[in-house]
A = this chain, B = another copy of it.
């Protein structure tokens, strides 16, 4: 298996981008990544996107995007794993380079979500849940994560304020990210008194509906070393795991098994322990998610995610900074793009190019991207060579 490097990154601003179509967004991010990589062509393209059919009436993205990028007739693959589509695209592109099938592979993530009404978006997102057992009966993602939050609070004594602190911390970070959708400071009190969505989750516990795209360029590490333009960032691990799509089939809904399995696999592949990781971008689609992810990845013991957040472990200056980009909560969550936007932030930090939000120690970073209520998870570990 060939070692794989990331040699270029790009992303659009995240937000309600009414002047940009799905293809515009993807091409903007892709061209930035290609320019950053300093390559003059790509051999193949992989795009992560959750449900362009329901959001925009457009499937067949491989064909469309390869063409609009001016790179046809190269192979154009679209992959989907709900909100983990971006992370899964990176794993797919990794294998394309690792196997020797292609040398220079563009991997992008994109979602155009604001062309439909709020109700239509809620329906589209609910297709990541189990249609027969959850979505059809009216379950929505805020509702499903509210169940998880309630169970976590009941089982472990997690406080309402702990949930709110996740959002406060991520907004503190997003304030410093020029690409973020919501660059504003918020307080625990504001979160707790914001509009109720699904008890105990309020609007400020939820990541927003967002348009956006992000892209990276991959090539073999040996090729990247010859370029010598930037510090070479190596993908030392890629791992993907699944769990039941439906919550009711799980032994313990507070435990994200797919994240636990993917993190263990990734740490094994990279040959490191979780304590060797300097920082992480994780899938905080709802505040409770970040707490459960900390526990599933073994950053803290089960039940301790809320307390750890309260104690500042995951703050920018903490021992294990989480979501220095602002996370899904502040940066925005164009579902198919999120997994690649996480990689964009990890590479930016590893290169020391994160400006005001640059972490002191950033040699080895982790990205955790999740589909549905944890039905799938993808974990990557990146290192500066």
List residues of A whose CB falls within 8 A of some B CB. Answer: 1, 21, 23, 50-54, 56-64, 66-67, 72-82, 88, 91-92, 95-96, 98-101, 123-124, 126-132, 135-136, 239-245, 249, 257-258, 261, 371-372, 375-376
Contacts and interface: CB of A to CB of B under 8 A. Distances in A.
7 contacts: A57-B136, A58-B127, A58-B132, A59-B80, A63-B245, A73-B243, A78-B80
Contact of A371 (B60, B241, B242): B60
B127 A72 contact: no
Contacts of A62: 80-81, 88, 242, 371, 376
A80 B80 contact: yes
Given A1-B101, A62-B371, 9 more contacts: A1-B99, A51-B53, A57-B136, A61-B80, A67-B244, A67-B245, A73-B242, A75-B241, A77-B79
A81 B92 CA distance: 14
B101 A82 contact: no
Contact of A242 (B63, B99, B128): B63
B99 A95 contact: yes
B131 A58 contact: yes
Nearest to A76: B242
B77 A81 contact: yes
